[in-house]
Amino acid sequence: MDWKLIKRLMNCFPNSFINHNGEFIAEKKSNTYFILKDCKTELDVKCKVLEWVSRAAHKGQPYKQEKRNKEFRAFILNGINQFLETNFSEDDMEQIYTYLGNAINHERTVAFVESGYDMNLLREV
């Protein structure tokens, strides 16, 4: 794995870390994470960001106060956009989570990333 890529990923999610199990922890309180140790390419990392971090950006609620939850979701969305060099909206993130979240369709995630994040790919049945 390219350590420059990992450093860039971690810079997009301040206070993130990699634990002893090789998991990238994007945000500790919400336990937003994915297994990084099995990523071999940049494409693998980008796919995992979309598949495993999109839920927190769309519907994460680790706090009791809605204001803090909105700030949390904005933090996660910003990190995703910064890392992927995209400008996804909250509505986009809902679509991404619905169709790609939890690695429901990894092949579709790969196609989405390789397309340059063409949102029309998510709307196709």
Give the pLDDT of residue 125.
58
Give the pLDDT of residue 55.
97
Give the pLDDT of residue 31.
92
Give the pLDDT of residue 92.
97
What's phi and psi for 26, nearest 5 deg?
-70, -35
CB 76, CB 57: distance < 8 Å: yes
For the chain, which residues make up each domain, given as ranges? Answer: 3-123
Mean pLDDT by 10 residues, the chain (125 residues): 93 97 95 96 98 97 94 97 98 97 97 97 78
Give the pLDDT of residue 15.
96
CB 8, CB 16: distance < 8 Å: no
Give the pLDDT of residue 33.
97
